[in-house]
Amino acid sequence: MQTQVAIIGGGPSGLLLAQLLHRRGIDSIVLERKTKNYVLGRIRAGVLEQGLVRLMEEAGCADRLHAEGFQHDGTLISYGDEMFRIDFKKHTGKPVIVYGQTEVTRDLYEAREQANGLIEFNVENVVINGADTDNPHVTYAVHGEIRRIECDFVAGCDGFHGVSRKTIPTDVRREYEKVYPFGWLGILSKTPPVNHELIYANSPRGFALASMRNESLCRYYIQCSLDDDVEDWSDDAFWEEFKKRIPADQAKQLITGPSIEKSIAPLRSFVTEPMRWGRLFLCGDAAHIVPPTGAKGLNTAASDVHYLYEALRGYYETSSADGIDAYSAKALARVWKTERFSWWFSSLMHRYPGQTAFDHRIQVAELEFLRSNEAAQKAMAENYVGLPY
């Protein structure tokens, strides 16, 4: 088979890139290791920056997002029973949109199907060959049959555990990592949100987050130990712990119900450099991970897709390699700023094992500064709604 861009990974990065390229007449094939239902079953991000909304519009996939997404003009931050609001609209003029990653992915799959875009599911043993030459090709197996794609470029959109990053030789690749000593236990439940805005809570018992998908579907998280087993957390135990971590007046109005999904995610900051090797480009979680505090993972994947889409358009529409040559540096400049924000917000909101009384007082002082200082609120709001690209 032959295509212009071979895309490894059918998550949101790969699908969005494929659909954007398609609208400009650039051909691609997406290779996905799992089934479509498996990909759609992963409950992940819930907060979209305007940049991602704009890309979904350009991809022709934003109708449902506009009809069903919720505009949030601010967020709530609590410590103990104190709570304050960061007003995004006032400080930046921009809101964020609450719309699940599952729905973004579903809309993109639908668009790819309507456009008869080729997505190969259940692929195994993907190997990227000749990425440092002018003629790369990708081989893979489906149901035991070996297949081969000749292409101009390879987009590595295959997440943290994919093959693309590992294709870049170790003497070229530099990795930066910070692993946090806790995880997030998350549940999804068919209950109305405790508040119409998200609550990020720093409590003496650890972090909690009240998020949502719509007016009858909630996504709540609590900081947990990395040794915890999800099977050991009953719904009742989750609700009891969650209530203790949000302000008492919020806990009083919390409506609980059975969970329809429950999982534990570890927290990590990770960046690989460079994000391009010859004709291979890394996008999204394949190149970097942020802890979920601040909702930046999917949104940072979207900014990579934007830079790569512009680079490939430049190549095919005006025969310019400038965008391609600048891709890694441009993407990384923004990635590191979102890494900093996610690390800062995580450090402010969680309890760390071994944290001293001094460390805690510093957290409270910083929260009180944020509560009372307009410049600090503006900096927080600018990062939360998304840095420009």
Which residues sit at the interface with ligand RFL, rule CB under 6 A? 8-14, 31-34, 39, 44-47, 101, 123, 126, 157-159, 161-163, 184, 186, 265, 284-285, 292, 295-299, 301
Give the strand pairing for 96-98 and 70-72: antiparallel
Interaction pattern, residues 26-45, with ligand PHB; x per rule: CB under 6 A: -------------------x
Q: Where are the beta strands (DSSP E) in the chain?
A: 5-8, 28-31, 47-48, 70-72, 74-79, 82-87, 96-98, 118-120, 124-129, 137-142, 145-150, 153-156, 174-189, 199-203, 206-214, 217-224, 259-273, 276-277, 280-282, 288-289
CA distance 26 to 146: 25
Residue 219 interacts with which of ligand PHB, ligand RFL, none, CB < 5 to 8 Å by class: ligand PHB
Return the residue matching tokens 């190549």.
315
Would residue 180 show up in a list of annotated catalytic residues for this protein? no
Would residue 140 show up in a list of annotated catalytic residues for this protein? no
Of 81-89, 244-252, 293-301, 375-383: span binding ligand PHB (CB under 6 A): 293-301
CA distance 339 to 317: 33
Member of 167, 191, 293, 338 binding ligand PHB (CB under 6 A): 293
- Which among 12, 136, 291, 292 is annotated as catalytic? 292
Q: Which is nearer to ligand RFL, 299 or 383 (CB)?
A: 299
> According to the binding rule CB under 6 A, does residue 47 interact with ligand PHB?
yes
Residue 91 interacts with which of ligand PHB, ligand RFL, none, CB < 5 to 8 Å by class: none
- Which among 140, 221, 307, 384 is annotated as catalytic? 384
Q: Which is nearer to ligand RFL, 120 or 371 (CB)?
A: 120
Amino acid identity, position 131: A
**Residues 280, 281, 283, 285, CA torsion sign:** positive
Q: Which is nearer to ligand RFL, 46 or 136 (CB)?
A: 46
Residue 293 interacts with which of ligand PHB, ligand RFL, none, CB < 5 to 8 Å by class: ligand PHB
Q: Is 144 exposed, middle or buried (0-12, 13-18, 19+ CB in 10 A)?
A: exposed
Residue 338 interacts with which of ligand PHB, ligand RFL, none, CB < 5 to 8 Å by class: none
Member of 111, 163, 271, 295 binding ligand PHB (CB under 6 A): 295
CA distance 287 to 301: 9
Residue nearest to ligand PHB (CB): 46
Q: How far is the CB of 172 from ligand PHB (least distance, A)?
A: 33
CA distance 230 to 18: 35
> According to the binding rule CB under 6 A, does residue 211 interact with ligand PHB?
yes
Return the HEC string of 284-347. HHHCEECCCCCCCHHHHHHHHHHHHHHHHHHHHHHCCCHHHHHHHHHHHHHHHHHHHHHHHHHH
Residue 294 interacts with which of ligand RFL, ligand PHB, none, CB < 5 to 8 Å by class: ligand PHB
Residue 33 interacts with which of ligand RFL, ligand PHB, none, CB < 5 to 8 Å by class: ligand RFL
Return the residue matching tokens 């009384």.
357
CA dist list (Å): 293 to 55, 226, 324: 23, 17, 31
Q: How far is the CB of 98 from ligand PHB (least distance, A)?
A: 7
Member of 33, 91, 219, 350 binding ligand PHB (CB under 6 A): 219
Would residue 292 show up in a list of annotated catalytic residues for this protein? yes
SS3 209: strand
The residue among 145, 100, 97, 108 whose CA lies nearest residue 9 is 108
**Residues of the shown chain interacting with ligand PHB in the complex, contacts defined by CB under 6 A:** 45-47, 198, 209, 211, 219, 292-295
Which residues are annotated as catalytic? 72, 200, 292, 296, 384
